[in-house]
Structure 1
């Protein structure tokens, strides 16, 4: 099934998810490796962000990543900056429930999102940005088939020092080829 794997399924994000997303968005440990903005947000700000930036945007699609066995949401995968003319999108993944970190759920969720991108939306290219210090995420993206495309040098100030942001991308033909050989 398109939006399901062995352990997870994707479901469209709704307004009702704002409270859970708010919990993750305000957890500095969760956002440390994924969000350029570490801050504490009021619930109203998160509700507005979900309403306008995720649900109300023509260029974004947000999906909750759900553990099928326990039927609980554990994270979010999204497309942002979707460019339908040039068949490009940027993807984002956040696993908000820390007990799921390092257990392969992110790989399953991101693979489902890429299946949707390339098989259904017929996108040509999907990109992402990752903080260069997030080695575990970079290894995951490379395993899935993303290639390094460049670096924004010292673009992030985190933990008292400047850090690079790495840009990665995967083309539809690369994704299909990788799927064929698996």
Structure 2
């Protein structure tokens, strides 16, 4: 049987305690946090992050760490959360931690692995996400993976005294076409 959580260059793995200290370093980078989330940027300790992971609702949240197959380096994380089983809909979030690892295709591969998992293992009908309008690189990855714009929460995000739109995007299972070779 094939491992549906492994792609050509990355694997989606169970989080390990030692990973959270490294992720904590990413949260010290305001640019990372401000592109990923609409919440105020703030540093989080590895202990804080691990506690959050331990308190996930195991029935509606599926959280993985992204590791490079070449050197087992931690690259980021990806999660399906707020799953409504009765509607077969879930939300997705993904982040690649270090700036030098972004734009290398790790996010696209990880996203496609998680979508394959969501649609073919969890039997989701639709996956949704929110993205800040200024995060053009993420928007390009989402569009390349088949997500379509579904709505705009106009001027919902305030950054440095300016207002930016928050886009809602979605992808239906029937429209998912993997952009990577799934093993």
TM-score (norm 1): 0.90
Superposed displacement of residue 73, structure 1? 1.0
- What are the Cα deviations for residues 106-132 of structure 1, in whole angstroms up to 9, with x where unaligned? 000000000101111110000000001
* Unaligned stretches of 5+ residues in structure 1: none
Structure 2 residue aligned with 1:96 = 97
Superposed displacement of residue 42, structure 1? 4.1
Structure 1 residue aligned with 2:147 = 146
- Work out whether 1:47 is the aligned partner of 2:50: yes
Superposed displacement of residue 98, structure 1? 1.7
Structure 2 residue aligned with 1:30 = 32
Q: Tell me, what secondary structure is at the counterpart of 1:71?
A: coil
122-131 or 29-38, larger mean C-alpha shift? 29-38
* Unaligned stretches of 5+ residues in structure 2: none
Question: Structure 2 vs 1, CA of residues 155 and 57 (structure 1 numbering), >3 Å: closer, same or farther?
Answer: farther
Structure 2 residue aligned with 1:122 = 123
Q: Distance in 2 between matches of 1:43 and 1:10?
A: 20
Structure 2 residue aligned with 1:76 = 77
Superposed displacement of residue 149, structure 1? 0.4
151-160 or 141-150, larger mean C-alpha shift? 151-160
User: Which has the larger share of helix?
Assistant: 1
Q: Distance in 2 between matches of 1:70 and 1:21?
A: 17
Superposed displacement of residue 3, structure 1? 0.8
Q: Tell me, what secondary structure is at the counterpart of 2:13?
A: strand
TM-score (norm 2): 0.89
* Structure 1 vs Structure 2 CA RMSD: 1.9
- What are the Cα deviations for residues 79-130 of structure 1, in whole angstroms up to 9, with x where unaligned? 1101111111100001012211111110000000001011111100000000
